[in-house]
Amino acid sequence: MFVIGVIAACLAAVAYGMSTVLRALGARRVAMTARDEGTESRHTNAAGGPSLHSTTSTFMDPAFILGTLLVVIGFAGGALAARFLPLFLSQTIVSANLVVTALLGTIMLSIALHLRDWVAIWLVVLSLCLLGLAAEKHTGGGESAIFHYELFVATLILCAFALFGVYRLGKHAAIVGGAMAGLLFGMIAIAVRVLDGVQPTFDPVALLRDPAAWTIAVAGAVGFFVQTVALQIGAVNGVTAVLVVGETAGPSLVGVLFLGDAAKPGLEWLAIVGFAGAVVGAVLVAWYGAGDPDHFGEAPPMKGGWRRGRETESESRSESAS
């Protein structure tokens, strides 16, 4: 079961990474079409973010639809991983979709990666390896029945904050939207882990009565919507990085504190180092990739070295001359 869980988590990471890039491509094409047709005002709300019309148009883009199908594959893989692995391991493997997103983004979205980006990405990868070495090969259990209701209520509160944030913060909501989507996707992993009516025999009545099933439905719908809005506003690598921090840190802590997850005896320190490295690497990617998205391919290039932001016109000229 441990091997099946690892394979399923890797499948989820690849599917989610491909999905994110395809949906970002769909958002880019909708933005370009709106500019070409002169309908940009219909695609912007009062706060400066994407309007509901813009998000709906993005949902109907062919690339976005293909990306949505890959989300289903990713969800299936992530669900299996959450059942068979400790949450701090399954969610951290799934968070490797950041690497897939970054690599595909260089091809499909023409995103240039600097040395600092590669350092941060490989920090995430190596940290995942450390975490895998330290993880115990079985999951805990024994959560109380009330935990299912607490999980659902917490999800409703997160949904309210997520929707309020992406529409009130407007064009500045990309990082908030990505982080909230990550926390909601983390709620799904926790809910899948504790879901009733699945084992030892499938019981559809028990499953539908379980608040954890309601959590999956609500968190999935709102998380998907909020992530889409974030991809319309912000750079894909920055949004994905804070998303994987949210979907990794939240479930991992819940798994250790409430669900009996653990590291191998004597390797707790390695699990902590691996987890911390993965989070720090993701934050670095978010920090350097959190600039405005270059939907039209017209923005100045990102600064090199360890500087943040885009080059000014004078910096671009001086680099060209050298």
| Closest-CA residue to 252 (of 82, 5, 73) | 82
Residue 179, sorted as left (phi over 0), alpha (psi -120 to 50) or beta, turns out to be alpha
The rounded Cα 199 to chain-centroid distance in angstroms is: 28
- Six-digit token pair at 230? 């974030």
CA distance readout (Å), 303 to 111, 246, 280, 320, 322: 13, 27, 21, 13, 15
Cβ neighbour number for residue 70 with a 10 Å cutoff: 19
| pTM across the whole model | 0.83
Residue 12 pLDDT? 94
DSSP-derived 3-state class of residue 135? strand
Residue 300 pLDDT? 61
- Cα separation, 5 vs 304, in Å, equals 39
Could you read off the pLDDT tens digit of each residue along the chain, which spans 322 residues? Answer: 788 988 999 999 999 999 999 999 998 888 888 877 877 777 777 777 788 888 899 999 999 999 999 999 999 999 888 888 888 788 878 888 888 888 898 888 878 788 888 888 888 878 877 877 787 765 555 567 899 999 999 999 999 999 998 888 877 788 889 999 999 999 998 998 888 887 777 788 888 999 999 999 999 999 999 999 998 888 888 888 888 888 887 887 788 778 877 778 888 888 888 888 877 887 787 777 655 555 555 566 666 666 666 666 555 555 555 5
- Cα separation, 252 vs 246, in Å, equals 10
